[in-house]
A = this chain, B = another copy of it.
């Protein structure tokens, strides 16, 4: 927790917040703060700044906050990710949030196990937990939007053309002939398949939508490794 994220209902006045629970515990046990200390804070979907500890005990933390800094620039990249298994999804959501992705589409693919769509992790409040962890890690306040698209064909046919319009669109595909470019200027859309990759039909549908297949070489990477490798290539972080 490199940033303490504040939500609207934490504010008791324009500059005073009261925190309990997980954030209080963290400040007590990890920051080991005391009254008068300055902590880095940010308002969810708002500005960042500093909070001075006014009260700190095992029941509550009161901070007097001053919010005057813009959060870091978002990445100009929309991510389409074939839904990974829940344990990996947690880590990937945290890391792509930390990297600054703001639009995440979790999509279906032939090789996505059907049971993954029933995971409790996909409930909005559970997804948000992972996103908040990513923001707290990276010192950012802008919550990414996660869109669940459990049907591939209607998503690609009806919605994707609009999403990918006026972006450079790529799909990571292990057997693609072209290597991943080292940089891309301007906004991009990146699709990453499941373990085992998209099937040929899916690649074809994405190509119809303007996605160029690119490869990262002979090595087969786990999704959690491939995602930061690819994002690093596409964006000036």
Whether A164 is near chain B, meaning CB under 8 Å from some CB there, is no
Segment among A56-64, A94-102, A116-124, A151-159 that sits at the interface with chain B: A94-102
Contacts of A224 in B (CB 8 A): 91, 95, 224
Contacts of A183 in B (CB 8 A): 182
Contacts of A233 in B (CB 8 A): 232-233
Please tell me if the beta carbons of A218 and B72 are within 8 angstroms of each other in the complex.
yes
Copy tally for this chain in the complex stands at: 2
Binary contact track A126-159/B, C-beta < 8 Å → 1, others 0: 0000000000011110000000000000000000
How far does the Cβ of A41 sit from chain B's closest Cβ, in whole Å? 15
Greatest chain B CB density within 10 A among A137, A179, A229 is at: A229
Please tell me if the beta carbons of A220 and B2 are within 8 angstroms of each other in the complex.
yes
Binary contact track A210-232/B, C-beta < 8 Å → 1, others 0: 00000011111110110011111
If A94-B222, A216-B237, A228-B229 are given as contacts, then 5 extra A-B residue pairs at C-beta distance below 8 Å, sorted by A number, are A72-B217, A95-B225, A140-B219, A229-B231, A232-B232
- A sample of 9 cross-chain residue pairs with beta-carbon separation below 8 angstroms, ordered by A number, consists of A72-B219, A91-B224, A95-B225, A98-B220, A138-B220, A139-B220, A219-B237, A229-B237, A230-B232
